[in-house]
Amino acid sequence: MTNHELLDLLRCEVVPAIGCTEPIAVALCVARAKEKLGAEPDKILVQLSKNVYKNALAVGIPNTGMTGLPIAIALGATVGRSEYMLEVLRDATPEAVAYAKEYMLRVPADIQINYEAPSMLYIHAEVACGDKKAEATIQDGHTNFVGEDGETVNGAETVKQLDGEDGKSGGALTLKRVYDFALEVDIEDVNFLIDGAEMNKQAAETSFANEYGHKLGRLLHSSTLKQTPQLQQLFGDTIFTKIVSYTCGACDARMSGAMVPVMSNSGSGNQGISCSVPVYLYAKENNCSREQTLRALALSNLTVIYIKQSLGRLSALCGCVVAATGSAAGITLLMGGKYEEITYAIKNMIANISGMICDGAKPGCALKVTSGVSTAIFSAYLAMQHSYADSTEGIVEDDIDRTIRNLTRIGHDGMQVTDDLILDIMTHKG
């Protein structure tokens, strides 16, 4: 792929979002169907793929104090505007939320899991008002509207397939190509990556002033550490602790429904947070130049996009593993590492936390983000010492692209039964 194509891909996949992207995408689909209807629906049917349902089940919906699909659907049907895409609930004022809460009791949505959905990311909304009906479908990408034949119809999200003809080779895109792009791209073309990282940092700062989720980010923040000698002694007020605090703090806020935008990556806000905040803060704390910071952010973000192309938008493998792998690459670059050291860092990541499952979006995601980011920093440091997992260890191979593909094969192909079991457990508790 050319640098121009890679830049387009980066711009397509790194976009602002408010709220967890799965329930927000459901709200977006319902909003588009309502707009086609031209009236407020008195009936709503929503069909979701297993993975969308799983990720939308227990996560906070912005500005509502509630979790899950019913309120997201109600907001989509009442105040949602599809032109806002992943910020579809931007106009969810307290008055609008109050109305939506009353509306969802009056017009309860019929929510179904489509076990035969054509994609792991599939949302279909049918709405009606009297005899008038309308529908909308999102498939493969969180803002990718498709028609009955599966063709894109006015979709903002271009879902690019980078696999080769055998579906396994990764086509023209390799980690080396990603690395070269990060070093070659005109930094003026990727300025938006710093804006996104700052946006995600501000989301974390929101969590420090409130009690979101498990309050892990707030617990590790320097202001808390200074007031708690035991924590200070245990964690220390270090760059490492600051990176972990800000990254999981942004996740705390987002998963609990804070009305704050974040810059997402490959359709996930948590992935956007996890691949940008650690790199951005490491650069700031080490007085790296703006150019160094931008190139590291480009490497981190595009590494995530590259891995997600073969893993898929949604899977049984936690996206924090992928996003933190991007951060490991970006931090290694900031430490002075070259391509060789970056491959070592990624191998360390894959040798370590590849088995982390995704059991839906929820406040506990901040715990997984913490594990991923901590491992990323360790992996980068070890890589700079030329200490890394080699081809004698597990799924790691000498070739870095084959190693990455081994990870994504496990997540995409090998964990289908795991995915079904996770959903079964989540929907049959008690």
At 373-402, the pLDDT tens digits run: 999 999 999 999 999 999 999 999 999 999
Pair 287, 361 in one domain: yes
With 80 as the cut, is the pLDDT of residue 148 above it? Answer: no
Pair 418, 317 in one domain: yes
Helix (H) or strand (E) holding 397: none
Pair 192, 111 in one domain: no
Domain membership of residue 1 (yes or no) is no
Residue that terminates a domain, selected from 80, 115, 139: 139
Pair 273, 408 in one domain: yes
With 90 as the cut, is the pLDDT of residue 170 above it? Answer: no
In this prediction, residues 262-278 reach a mean pLDDT of 94
Pair 201, 322 in one domain: yes
State the pLDDT at residue 153.
Answer: 63
Residue 93 carries which DSSP code?
-
The C-alpha atoms of residue 315 and residue 271 are separated, in whole angstroms, by 13
Domain membership of residue 11 (yes or no) is no
Which residue is it, tokens 């490991």?
328
State the pLDDT at residue 332.
Answer: 98
Domain membership of residue 36 (yes or no) is yes
Helix (H) or strand (E) holding 293: helix 290-311
Our CA angle for 416, 417, 420, nearest 5°, is: 90
Count of domains in the chain?
2
Q: How many beta carbons lie within 10 A of that of residue 214, not counting itself?
A: 20
With 60 as the cut, is the pLDDT of residue 159 above it? Answer: no
Q: How many beta carbons lie within 10 A of that of residue 34, not counting itself?
A: 24
Helix (H) or strand (E) holding 44: strand 43-48
Domain membership of residue 317 (yes or no) is yes
Rounded alpha-carbon distances, angstroms, from residue 429 to 26, 301, 419: 24, 36, 16
Pair 59, 180 in one domain: no
- What CATH number should be reported for the domain holding residue 35? 3.30.1330
The C-alpha atoms of residue 20 and residue 271 are separated, in whole angstroms, by 11
Domain membership of residue 239 (yes or no) is yes
Q: What is the pTM of this model?
A: 0.89
Pair 94, 206 in one domain: no
Given the DSSP bridges, would you call strands 16-18 and 43-48 parallel, antiparallel or unpaired?
unpaired
Pair 237, 382 in one domain: yes
Domain membership of residue 164 (yes or no) is no
Residue that terminates a domain, selected from 139, 162, 193: 139
Structural domain harbouring 28: 16-139
Pair 393, 328 in one domain: yes
- What CATH number should be reported for the domain holding residue 264? 1.10.4100.10
In this prediction, residues 89-95 reach a mean pLDDT of 91
The C-alpha atoms of residue 53 and residue 424 are separated, in whole angstroms, by 12
With 80 as the cut, is the pLDDT of residue 154 above it? Answer: no
Pair 118, 189 in one domain: no
The C-alpha atoms of residue 300 and residue 308 are separated, in whole angstroms, by 12
Domain membership of residue 244 (yes or no) is yes
In this prediction, residues 167-173 reach a mean pLDDT of 53
With 80 as the cut, is the pLDDT of residue 23 above it? Answer: yes
Domain membership of residue 38 (yes or no) is yes
Pair 118, 183 in one domain: no
State the pLDDT at residue 112.
Answer: 96
Alpha helices in 149-238 (DSSP H): 175-184, 191-208, 216-220, 222-227, 229-235
State the pLDDT at residue 286.
Answer: 97
Here the tokens at position 354 are 């590849």
Pair 187, 297 in one domain: yes
The C-alpha atoms of residue 146 and residue 156 are separated, in whole angstroms, by 11
At 278-292, the pLDDT tens digits run: 999 999 999 999 999
- 3-state DSSP of 245-308: HHHHHHHHHHHCCCCCEEECECCEHHHHHHHHHHHHHHHHHCCCCHHHHHHHHHHHHHHHHHHH
